[in-house]
Structure 1
Amino acid sequence: MKKSTQISGLPIISILDGNQVGKVKSLVINPDKGSVDFLTIEHEDFQVSVKAIPFKKVVGIGEYAVTVGSESAVIDLNEIPIANQLVNKKIKITGTKVMTRKGELIGEVVEYFVDQESGNILGMQLKLADKEVALSSESVVTFGKDIIIVKEDATSYFLNSVEELEGKSDSAELAEELVATETATLEEDEEVKSLKEKQIELLAGKKLSKDIYDKDGNLLFGEGTYLTAEQIQKAQDEGPSIVVELSMNVEA
């Protein structure tokens, strides 16, 4: 689970070549699904059109960066009508008033929280008259530009801690995601296989300019090592962050 503010501003790194393709400029909300569908990109070369990355193309969201498979994940929003429509809706959530279906004003959103795997909005942190509480997205009826509408009994489901938002996902939604995941597994496996092959092709024979360590601090490859296909595969098994480290620390 990530705060929206923990995602905004993060560098976006291509795992394939270790290049930074830009920074996260904004999170594009799909109000019908209650999810973040795209991350728009801030880059000095992207002045004419708006570029973005579909959330489903995000490999991971870490403390220091968002990773994608390659720069091919970047799309031009002007070429994707649905994505462009979502951007133009300008749903921001933070700072938006929260009201019940019967018109009772509850409070204002201070922050919202995103499932970093699926992009689903798990819930919000609300500022009330006398305190702050958390509320799961299960209570939301409408994510609007000016007002977020929630169920009449939403106040009965206030949570004392935002950490409680994790694990509050609706079971039907989880079942739907499971079916979609199973359907896409073969296609994703082929994409991953192709990406790994490109990484090996790009890095094999390159000389490391610094020591590379695994997540536990153990030395994987020493400075001066000429990378082999087997070593690159070992790095891939360690995870995307290790491959990014390799890509950014080889001599041309």
Structure 2
Amino acid sequence: MKLKSQIVGLPVISIVEVASLGKVEDLVINPDTGSVDFLIVEPEQWYMERRLIAIQDVAGIGEDALTTETRTNVVNITSVPAAIELLKKEVKVVGSQVITKKGRLNGSIDEILVDEQTGKISACRWVAGDGAKTGLIPANLVVTFGKGMLVVEEDFDAALVENASQIHTDAVHKPVVEKATAQGPQDPLQFFEDKQKQYLIGRTVTTDILSDDGEIIAEQGQKVTQEMVDKAVAADKFVELTLNTRE
């Protein structure tokens, strides 16, 4: 298993051509499966489009390089619609706030541990809000990988492990599965937001929440209302509202 920081920055080498194809810039995460589906590779020239490689086309990830069979496995991002859809979701995991299913905010994530054979996220490294405690959250305790937020089981902090050797290979993310409707299965992040609405209503806003164009969504000192929640969701400010309320 590899940390994200051990993968990003590695040169990408093609085995057949014995050529350097650039360096890994970032990981593209699939929040529904809890896995890294693609790796973003820097452009051949600074003015060109960024490229990517699918995780199944990675031959190996070593200490000094990431290898693939042939340079044709590295393609332009715009040629892979599935990757574009994942990028639109903007799920990074690293830097996400941690919140339990019942709405208890508790620290953040500063690293992820990836199975280089399958791309599965095996664990997320958690840091307490005061920085005094850290540990690995096994993937089977993760409920939802969301944009800027990781939803975990309520008692996750009692099940933390200290190092990667304690992570079992079967500890994989089990995504929230909702009953399908005529419109298809419910989006996991939307499901989480709906559950959080009841938790937020009636709490006190601790700072002004503004939309990107400056419209006031909620003012400091106000009590959260259903209208505020709806406006925050529409303006993509729901996480910000969640993090800036108190009882």
Q: Does TM, scored on the shorter chain, surpass 0.5?
A: yes
Counterpart of 1:164? 166
Kindly report which structure 2 residues correspond to 1:10-89, keeping only aligned pairs within 5 A, or say none: 10-45=10-45, 47-89=47-89
Match of 2:193 in 1: none
User: In the aligned structure 1, how far is the partner of 2:44 from the partner of 2:75?
Assistant: 16
Aligned amino acid, residue 81 of structure 1:
P
1:175-222 CA deviation, whole Å, 9 max, x = no partner? xxxxxxxxxxxxxxxxxxxxxxxxxxxxxxxxxxxxxxxxxxxxxxxx
* Runs of 4+ deviating beyond 4 Å: 170-173
* C-alpha distance 149-119 of structure 1, shift in aligned 2 (>3 A): same
For 1:33-72, what per-residue CA distance to the aligned partner results, in whole angstroms no more than 9, with x for missing partners? 1000000111343634331000000000000000000011
On the 8 A contact 2:4/2:111 being kept in 1, the answer is: yes
> How far does residue 165 in structure 1 lie from its aligned partner after superposition?
1.9
Q: Secondary structure at the match of 1:45?
A: coil
Name structure 1 gaps, 5 residues minimum.
174-252
How far apart, CA to CA, are the structure 1 residues paired with 2:111 and 2:166? 15
Change in Cα spacing, 1:83 to 1:136, as seen in structure 2 (3 Å) is same
CA distance in 2, matches of 1:93, 1:145: 8
Distance in 2 of aligned mates of 1:85 and 1:171: 20
2:141 equivalent among 139, 142, 151: 139
CA distance in 2, matches of 1:96, 1:132: 15
Aligned-residue identity in percent: 36
Q: Shift of the alpha carbon at 1:170? A: 4.7
Does the 8 Å contact 1:135/1:165 carry over to 2? no
1:56/1:118 contact within 8 Å kept:
yes
Q: Could you state the TM-score of these two structures normalised by the residue count of structure 1?
A: 0.64
Higher helix share: 1
User: 1:79 is aligned with what amino acid?
Assistant: S
Q: Distance in 1 between matches of 2:63 and 2:168?
A: 18
CA distance in 2, matches of 1:172, 1:6: 25
Q: How far has the Cα of 1:90 moved from its partner?
A: 1.9
CA deviation after TM superposition for structure 1 residue 155, in Å: 2.3
Q: Looking at CA atoms only, which structure, 1 or 2, has the larger radius of gyration?
A: 1
The separation in 2 between residues aligned to 1:48 and 1:97, in whole angstroms, is 34
Q: TM-score, normalised on structure 2?
A: 0.66
Count of residues in correspondence between the two structures:
173
